[in-house]
Amino acid sequence: MAQLVLDEMPRRLFTCTPTRLASFEDCPRRYRMTYVDRPAPPKGPPWAHTSLGTSAHNALRLWWDEPARRRTPERAAALVRSGWVAEGWRDDQQSADARDRVAAMCERYTAGLDPTDEPRAVERQVATRTDLLALHGRVDRLDERDGELVVVDYKTGRRAPQDGDARTSPALALYAFAAERMLRQRCRRVELHHLPSGRIVEAEHTDESLARHLRRAESIATDAVAATERLAAGQPADVAFPPRPGPLCSWCDYRRHCPEGRAAGPELAPWAGVEYLAEQEPAASQGT
């Protein structure tokens, strides 16, 4: 009877973000080091491309916080400069050059926005639950158009998104699913806004496409829980959470702790992901 009661007890929901799910799918070992091991192994040095992305995202968030009359392209550039994250760069000169180019990037992007068109939310946490997941995440921007919500995700990397990227993005689909449930307003449109190129890629989800992404998320979560339980039961860590070496290993924060990852690709300098900035024009304005 006691065993029957235990078997019928509901399982604890798996609390996750899209990033956490992607981490397990990309490499179970990296997932373990990030989310399971306590204390977590020391990470490598900060990456310049992370500092770049943080600086641009913060500037755009603050730009929308401004009164509409102050939402000028020049103000966006000034916000990049005043909030610049100077970690991971080769030296002060590279950091300063990058700051000016990212300021120009945000200046060009905001020049194409209507400053009076208020978003529904900026940097908004959305959350919901399913039978298996307690899902949450932060959306860069939620627009409201024609009575429906639109998920907007900023991208700052070298590669411009391709036509199918918005539809196949698990994160965008899960954000849309969570936003619709939490805010009780239809949300099916998702967009990737690539700041360096100005390219916007969009997709319109259906009930079926969102359901596919959700099933995939629940499958990944089930595998992650099973691996954690096997580890707790005594299975060796590298069996429960095997490495998945590949080209991304050169960018892994835990590379120093992973022989397979070190063998999979060369060690990269912290600023290796920002060389494309040399192709960007520096900002002409120095506004405030």
Cβ atoms of 258 and 241 closer than 8 Å: no
pTM over cut 0.95 = no
Residue 142 pairs with which residues in a beta bridge?
121, 151
Question: At 280, is the pLDDT very low, low, confident or very high (cuts 50, 70, 90)?
Answer: low
Residue 30 pLDDT > 50: yes
Q: Is 198 left (phi over 0), alpha (psi -120 to 50) or beta?
A: left
Q: Which of 40, 38, 34, 28 is nearest to 225 (CA)?
A: 28
13-17, 124-128, 280-284: segment of lowest average pLDDT: 280-284
Question: At 95, is the pLDDT very low, low, confident or very high (cuts 50, 70, 90)?
Answer: very high
Q: What is the amino acid identity at position 108?
A: R
Residues 120 and 249: their CA atoms lie apart, in Å, by 38
Residues 18 and 40: their CA atoms lie apart, in Å, by 20
153-212, pLDDT tens digit by residue? Answer: 999 999 999 999 999 999 999 999 999 999 999 999 999 999 999 999 999 999 999 999
Cβ atoms of 89 and 48 closer than 8 Å: yes
The residue extents of the domains of the chain are 48-116, 124-213
173-182, pLDDT tens digit by residue? Answer: 999 999 999 9
Residue 241 pLDDT > 70: yes
Residue 3 pLDDT > 90: no
64-83, pLDDT tens digit by residue? Answer: 999 999 999 999 999 999 99
Cβ atoms of 83 and 263 closer than 8 Å: no
- 259 versus 279: which is more confidently predicted? 259
Residue 5 has a pLDDT of: 45
Task: Please list the alpha-helical segments (H only) found in 116-258.
Answer: 165-168, 170-183, 207-232, 237-240
Q: What is the DSSP letter of 38?
A: S
User: 124-213 belongs to which CATH class?
Assistant: alpha beta
Residue showing tokens 């070496």: 245
Average pLDDT, whole number, for the chain? 94
DSSP 182-220: HHTS-EEEEEEEETTT--EEEEE--HHHHHHHHHHHHHH
